[in-house]
Structure 1
Amino acid sequence: MATAPTQMSVVRAAGVRQVRLVCGIILFAFVVSHFLNHALGNISVDAMETGVYYHTLFWQFLPVAIVFYTAALTHMGLGVYALYQRRQFRWRTIEPLQLVLGLSIPVLVMGHVIGVRLAQTLYGHEKLYPQELYLFFVAAPGLLWQMTILLLIAWVHGCIGVYFWLRLKPFFTRAAPYLLAAAVLIPTLSLLGIYQGGRSVAADSDDGEWRKQHLTRSKVGTVAEGNTLERIAGGLTMGYFGLLGLVLAARGVRALRERRGGMIALSYGNGKTVRVPKGLSVLEASLRHNVPHASVCGGRARCSTCRIRIIGDHDALPTPSQREAFVLTRVGTADPSIRLACQLRPTSDLSFFQLFAAHTHGTDGASTSASIGQERYLVSLFVDMRGSTQLAEKRLPFDTVFIVNRFLGAVSQAVIENGGQPNQFVGDGMLALFGLAADPQTACRQAMKAAAGIAAHIDELNDLLSHDLRQPIRFGIGIHGGEVIIGDIGYRDHIVFTALGDAVNVAARLQDMTKTLACEAVVSDEVRRTADIAEDALPQQEVAIRGRDQPLAVRVVANARELAALVDRSERVAA
């Protein structure tokens, strides 16, 4: 039985991208807090000042400040490193846009940080909203556009990062509309708050008393102090541009050295061969030469869809990085000939073939992307009609098809009535999925109620067909829940949405066991426990599952109709 990765393996798998993600989340939290503070300008400037008091109270608290500034410097440094490290981009996606926006933020924010934070540290200036809004709306209106651009760039950059982080999460599809609403409303309210606050300050600034109170030397400083801060900001900005220039020069030197170091040939196993410099990953080589290559996560080693199988000797290849080893272990791959294309950087000629097709083709020849797979908890219900072979022996084929269709129709009706989705029909059997739009506990309860509904509908069908059946239709049901991969599977115009994983296979095995256990349903104890059914409600038994090292605890259900009452009782107790 596969076990979850150990805590140590998870720690070893942490790499540059994980550090950049954590730093980015910290910075995005600061941006959200700052934007919400700006939005208070829709109430009044006083509300903005009250909000910024609590905002600075938290973010300038010494431990938080240390974490924040460390995250800011680390994130910027890793962004510069990404510019150097990334050899090839998927130019038709938002990845290069995210990098460009991220690299432009330090240039735009430098003057603001120096003018507010460093001015406070060096000269004790207390520049808050009245002073900043006066600068943008009265003293130097041109800076307002720079600040607006900065806000939009920082927000878009952060949202792209959040999208890349969450898009493979099981809940993303349900959460996406709410996230989109927040992504639009927060910056809109923020900019409106700045505009309303700026109008208020511009009107108040005509009052001499207001100027004496808010434009004092202790708040805005002297001209000489301002010139000093501008020189510091200008020097740091030029230094940053110089750093980017060095990185670009380093990229050129690296490319020259790689070319002088020799070219290698990558053969894709389908007759396609490309020549690339040593040092490129296989995925980067595919992107550079426009070779379709599956990569759901965009080369971040957060999925395994770019996997390749090496043809021939693989001993001379570089050893897998910690992150690559973690991903391969996570998907249960122990074969050393299977590698991640986004992480493998061969130093000699290599032949391989891709394990996953990059896309499928419709009947018209146009390429259509398959649905991205997601890992999530689902409950699988397998049901099978008993005695269909004997039924077919003494009937005309069309009569047999009619009865089987009536059986599958009765089963499907029970599944749909209880919140499930009929998924696959295999002969006289069916797989149904629960939990596509429900939490695990609800999904388990729905599956158990559906089993009871199936029994009730089959009773009605037997009564309806009693004049034509020698024996009533019997059935077996297996129910199990667990993490599975859901997505589109198939080829060309034969694409189906389904679930793959150990939980689905176990449900099918449990359905088979209803024959030997002489019962109508076998429910895994995992489902019973998640549905919060009483421990003593159903008899327990341990069974051996083919392909598993350890026996599985299951509950034997002689009469599936009893499951509905058990679920109802559990729901009443919970209420």
Structure 2
Amino acid sequence: MVALGIRADLRLAGALVILAFVVCHLANHMLALVSLDAAMAGHEILMEPWEGALGGGLLMAAGLTHYANALWAVYERRTLRMGGSEAWQLGLGLLIPFLMMIHLAGTGLGEALLDLEPGYPSVLLGQWVMSPWRGLAQAILVLVVWGHACSGLHLRYGGRDRYERAKPWLLALAVVIPTLALAGWVSGGAQVMRSAADPAWTGRVLAEARMGPSTLDDTLRLALAGMGLHLLLIATPFAGRLLRHVGGGRRPQLTHSNGRVIRMMPGSTVLEALQDHAIAHASACGGKGRCTTCRVRVRSGVEKLPSPGPLEANALGRIEAPPEVRLACQLRPEHDLTILPLLPSDAVAADGRLHGGLDGRERQIVVVFIDLRGSTTLGEAKMPYDMLFILHRFFQQMTRALTATGGHYSNFTGDGLMALYGLKGNDSAKAVTAALAGAREMVAGLDKLNAELAMELEAPLRMGIGIHYGQAIVGTMGPPGAQIVSAIGDTVNTTARLEGLTKDHDCLLVLSAAAAEAGGLSFPGIPRHQVAVKGRVEAVEFYAFGEIPGR
């Protein structure tokens, strides 16, 4: 598992080094839009650092690391079925060396093995005049390399806030950079074709590049040799996969929530097993353990699972997932298990940001309802804009109080809101104490707001607060794209009823006896009331307070 994280880091580092080289190379092509002389002058700044011992060594190490990682990833896969984005990136990546050999045979490899001295004029002469098919291969190579790089970056960073905000600008760059680079290449080719009309110019360029009558054939043989080596190398992991299948081993049974029961290949991830049996499952990052869209709840067999590795643990920690939630792309079970997908199969990277531990669980929770008193009368006396301004400031103070005391804003209803305490951990006393602290902060915030708006209000704003403790279904709910962490159930309904009782008792806070007991609080001398709540057999006991108790 640790090795997996190191491999991921090396793959990223190698990819970024290669991307830096590609951007420099394409920028150099763009200079040909000015002139061929400008491109040759730019080569000294943009490309010569990559041709030195340090730059060349770094680029070679990055290329070999990235290439070896790709071959290992092919071998490691238990199925070749995968998502469209992942298949597209892999296919482009395996195509790159075939096309790159045609280019390298006349440049870097030709210089090292054939004693050539290539430059922009000679390379463009070969691609546009002497062997135009090489020029077509060059144009395709630019698009394939750029497409592979962009798809890789999208798979890795898709769904992250900064990436999503920058996506329109990144898309523009993704189109502009190769377009200008190819335009510069075409412009340089046109300049070379005009100059090639002069035999003396052509002879001088060929002589400076040390190109003779057999050079085109020699570079073609060199390119074919490189392609053959690449073909042999990419065949190796596929052959290894076949041998692994022959080896056999115990095949764990995987039971899906849709009723399908399948046998997994030994060493297969849950995601690979689902893909191999054509069971649709979300995987926005291509199974790299980043987006968390492939998350599943393990219904049975969780106690026999290996602990998450660093990569999976980091991703699960980011969404605060409980122990029974795992990533299908990283989970390689050795025993039978039953799973429930937690996101729809068409989930995108942005959906991976949803909280992972509250997707529908029964738990004990503190529910708080807050309501602004007299808002209807206030709305009749104020212009709509003024009313919305007051409500905005009211909610601002309330949410600040929640944030300061560890509460979670759940939703609002007109002139009131619902909040939850105790989402993390199981300390009921701590949750109730925090809820009361939040109520005090809310009162202080309302006092501050009344002072600031004294000239705008005929009477100070008032509010009612209801607090209750009990069992509720807590989780992410709501329509796609607008989901929130909230709660439903009898506890929520009872809290709303308790908040309404603040009007009947003309008080600030109604605290249920259940919440007081959960918080370890007692109020000698304070009368305990009862109220019947619709849907409940037993009456609910509560305390009514004119101010928030304790501190």
Fold-level match, TM-score > 0.5? yes
Q: Which runs of 5+ in 1 are unaligned?
A: 1-8, 360-366, 377-382, 393-397, 433-449, 467-471, 477-487, 501-545, 547-575
Aligned length in residues: 430
Identical-residue share of aligned pairs (%): 30
Cα deviation digits, residues 188-238 of structure 1 (max 9, x gap): 11111111111111111122332243110x413334565444333322211
**Which residue in 1 is equivalent to 2:335?**
348
Partner of 1:429: 416
Pick from 133, 144, 153 the counterpart of residue 135 of structure 2.
144
Note closer, same or farther for the CA distance 1:368–1:358 as it changes in structure 2 (3 Å cut): closer
- Is residue 358 from structure 1 mapped to residue 344 from structure 2 by the alignment? yes
One-letter amino acid matched to 1:242: L
Written as runs of structure 1 = structure 2, the 5 A alignment for 1:198-277 is 198-216=189-207, 218-224=208-214, 227-258=217-248, 261-269=249-257, 271-277=259-265
Find the counterpart in structure 2 of residue 482 from structure 1: none
User: How far apart in 1 are the matches of 2:370 and 2:395?
Assistant: 18
Amino acid at match of 1:173: E
Instruction: Tell me what 1:462 maps to.
Output: 457
Distance 1:52 1:174, change over 3 A: same
- Counterpart secondary structure, 1:111: helix
Give the equivalent residue in structure 1 for 2:311.
323
Q: CA RMSD in A?
A: 4.2
TM-aligned CA deviation for residue 35 of structure 1: 1.0
Counterpart of 1:43 (choices 15, 30, 34) is 34
- Contact 1:15–1:323, Cα closer than 8 Å, also in 2: no
In the alignment, the residues of structure 1 paired with residue 480 and residue 63 of structure 2 have an alpha-carbon distance, to the nearest angstrom, of 49
Shift of 1:62: 2.0
C-alpha displacement of 1:430: 4.9
Q: Could you tell me how far apart the structure 2 residues matched to 1:494 and 1:117 are?
A: 52
Distance 1:306 1:34, change over 3 A: same
Secondary structure of 1:308's match? Answer: strand
Task: Structure 2 unaligned segments of length 5 or more: list them.
Answer: 356-367, 400-408, 420-444, 465-474, 487-518, 520-551
State the Cα distance separating 1:344 from its structure 2 match.
Answer: 1.3
> Amino acid of the residue matched to residue 351 of structure 2?
I
Deviation for aligned residue 1:292 = 4.3
Q: CA deviation at 1:249?
A: 2.4
The match for 2:427 is none
What does residue 538 of structure 2 align with?
A: none
> SS of the residue aligned with 1:345?
coil
1:81 matched residue in structure 2? 72
CA contact (8 A) 2:99 2:137 kept: yes
Alignment of 1:279-290 (within 5 A): 279-290=267-278
Higher deviation after alignment, 111-120 or 25-34: 111-120
Structure 1 residues 251, 451: closer, same or farther in 2, change over 3 A? farther
Tell me how far apart the structure 2 counterparts of residues 115 and 368 of structure 1 sit (CA, whole Å): 45
Deviation of 1:263 (Å): 3.5
SS in 1 for 2:226: helix
* Corresponding letter in the other structure for 2:275: L
Partner secondary structure for residue 351 of structure 1: strand
Q: Which residue of 1 aligns with 2:388?
A: 409
SS of the residue corresponding to residue 277 of structure 1 reads coil
Stretch deviating more after TM superposition (11-20 or 95-104): 11-20
Higher alpha-carbon Rg:
2
2:44 corresponds to which of 44, 53, 78? 53
Q: Please show how residues 185-196 of structure 1 align to structure 2 within 5 Å.
A: 185-196=176-187
1:489 to 1:353, Cα distance in 2 relative to 1, 3 A: closer
Greater CA drift, 279-288 or 183-192 = 279-288
- Aligned equivalent of 2:84, options 67, 76, 93: 93
Secondary structure of the corresponding residue to residue 482 of structure 2: strand
Equivalent in the alignment of 2:158: 167
Q: CA deviation at 1:475?
A: 6.7
Tell me how far apart the structure 2 counterparts of residues 498 and 384 of structure 1 sit (CA, whole Å). Answer: 17
Q: Secondary structure at the match of 2:477?
A: strand
Say if 1:410 and 1:454, in contact at 8 Å, map to a contact too.
no
- Measure, in 1, the Cα distance between the counterparts of 2:327 and 2:264: 18
Partners in 1 of 2:24 and 2:35 — Cα distance? Answer: 17
Q: Give the partner amino acid of 1:84.
A: Y
Residue deviations 1:478-536, cap 9 Å, x none?
xxxxxxxxxx9524x58635589xxxxxxxxxxxxxxxxxxxxxxxxxxxxxxxxxxxx
With over 3 angstroms needed to count, the CA separation of the structure-2 counterparts of 1:474 and 1:32, relative to structure 1, is same
Letter in 2 for 1:41: A
The structure-2 alpha-carbon separation of the partners of 1:210 and 1:106, relative to structure 1 and needing over 3 Å to count, comes to same
Instruction: State the TM-score, normalizing by the size of structure 1.
Output: 0.64
1:110-148 deviation digits (Å, cap 9, x = unpaired)? 132132112223454221110011111111112111111
Report the equivalent of 1:522: none
Opposite residue 315 of structure 2, the aligned amino acid is V
